[in-house]
Structure 1
């Protein structure tokens, strides 16, 4: 994890999920490294939808998706840590109109996502649904 991720994870855990600059819009994604097989923890913006979470691999508009996205493609079974506990999940990448509608939820939450989409072009920012397992 980067020093920034370490700080965000510590603040998330110390403040019941609240992180300066993000409010309560983050979860901690526990995934398995695509190549290393090592467990990873990544703070990610999430929109709760029913019992699932939508996560957006924006990487703040970078030309390449974040590592956790590739981890989920290789190993879709993961876990989401919330202020209320952890939930085992299975990641499903959204496509077409379903992806577009989900991405619009992130733009509604924060207009910065519209800029991320512009900056990332021609990359289409992936959106995944993390569905509870079991």
Structure 2
């Protein structure tokens, strides 16, 4: 799947309120649009991401990059600037991105694999790198 081709279509369908067509498993209920500040370009960049866990004001995503070996650009962007914007099916709000590490990361990664058994094969190309697990926490000022 070529993200540069499919992501603009997914973003347009998401923002229009329509169901997402042409990408298995992508729905308005299990995805968000994440906008980061480009670390090189300085421009705002938006990508669709699947949320696999929520806890209060915190959404959890993984930086799988379609199973490719390098970390995705959006992940590198949020390392440089962790303040992001989230669009879900109901609203748009500011959040702060934090990489989850240690035991909590291990527990969430196990939960991810249990919830997404087909993803193990999908992410096999990322062999050699630890796939980052990211918390997106709603900014308190945004409430």
1:62-93 CA distances to partner (integer Å, 9 max, x unpaired)? Answer: 10111100010000000110011112111110
- Give distance in 1, aligned partners of 2:128 and 2:47: 25
Larger of the two Rg values belongs to structure: 2
The aligned counterpart of 1:85 is 91
Q: CA deviation at 1:113?
A: 2.5
CA contact 2:33–2:46 (8 Å) conserved in 1: yes
The aligned counterpart of 1:115 is 121
**2:41 corresponds to which of 36, 41, 57:** 36
When the two structures are superposed, what TM-score results if normalisation uses the length of structure 1?
A: 0.89
Gaps of 5+ in 2: none
The aligned counterpart of 1:14 is 16
- Give distance in 2, aligned partners of 1:127 and 1:30: 17
- Give distance in 1, aligned partners of 2:118 and 2:81: 29
**Number of aligned residue pairs:** 133
SS of equivalent to 1:8: helix
Q: CA deviation at 1:117?
A: 4.1
When the two structures are superposed, what TM-score results if normalisation uses the length of structure 2?
A: 0.84
Instruction: Please tell me the root mean square deviation across aligned C-alpha atoms, in Å.
Output: 1.7
1:84-114 CA distances to partner (integer Å, 9 max, x unpaired)? Answer: 1112111110112211222223223322322
1:69 has 2:75 as partner: yes
SS of equivalent to 1:2: helix
